[in-house]
């Protein structure tokens, strides 16, 4: 165990699920909601509390696409590049956001852990294309300029936090 890691959040979540192995997916979801990803330090603790092996928990965490083992930013921006959004020019929006945040196809998260930018294949809101979400809130009919204005707002929120 890592003496630097604060296990209080993990312990609280596991105990809310009565330390039941059957709650593993919900437990991982709640931990991810808190940290925005699954820190590696949680695995030994979960193994001990749930009486499972670390490998079993790790295999659940890697099986589901929604779990991330890499740190994510405070704001997770998902830009849809499904067919409806693609034909309505989602790529220039993605390029503008990446350029303004200094990100790329291989670097998804800013060093200050404020922004993560990902692409997804459909956000289920094709009628509003092109669409992006910020922490699961849908922003419809985007353009590069609207995306830029949205980033500015988010940066102001960070500065005023």
Residue ranges in 5-129 assigned as alpha helix (H): 8-16, 24-35, 42-50, 54-63, 83-87, 90-101
CB 33 within 8 A of CB 42: no
Phi, psi of 129 (to 5 degrees): -60, 150
Does position 91 interact with ligand FES (CB under 6 A)? The reply is no
Cβ neighbors of 23 (< 8 A, separation 6 or more) are 14, 17
Q: Which stretch binds ligand FES (CB under 6 A): 53-61, 70-78, 117-125, 146-154?
A: 117-125
Minimum distance from CB of 91 to ligand FES (Å)?
12
Minimum distance from CB of 17 to ligand FES (Å)?
33
Which of 10, 85, 103, 147 touches ligand FES by CB under 6 A?
85
* Token output for 116: 């993560």
Minimum distance from CB of 84 to ligand FES (Å)?
4
Does position 84 interact with ligand FES (CB under 6 A)? The reply is yes
Applying CB under 6 A, the residues found at the interface with ligand FES are 80, 82-85, 122-126, 129, 131
């Amino acid at each position: 165990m890592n003496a630097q890691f604060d296990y209080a959040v993990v312990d609280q979540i596991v105990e809310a699920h009565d330390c039941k192995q059957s709650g593993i997916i919900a437990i991982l979801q709640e931990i991810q909601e808190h940290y925005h990803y699954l820190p590696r330090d949680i695995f030994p603790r979960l193994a001990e509390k749930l009486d499972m092996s670390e490998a079993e928990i790790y295999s659940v965490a890697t099986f589901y696409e929604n779990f991330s083992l890499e740190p994510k930013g405070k704001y997770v921006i998902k830009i849809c590049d499904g067919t409806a959004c693609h034909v309505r020019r989602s790529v220039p929006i993605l390029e503008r956001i990446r350029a303004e945040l200094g990100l790329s196809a291989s670097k998804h998260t800013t060093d200050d852990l404020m922004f993560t930018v990902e692409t997804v294949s459909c956000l289920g809101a094709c009628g509003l294309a092109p669409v992006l979400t910020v922490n699961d809130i849908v922003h419809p009919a985007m353009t590069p300029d609207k995306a830029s204005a949205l980033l500015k707002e988010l940066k102001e929120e960070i500065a005023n936090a």
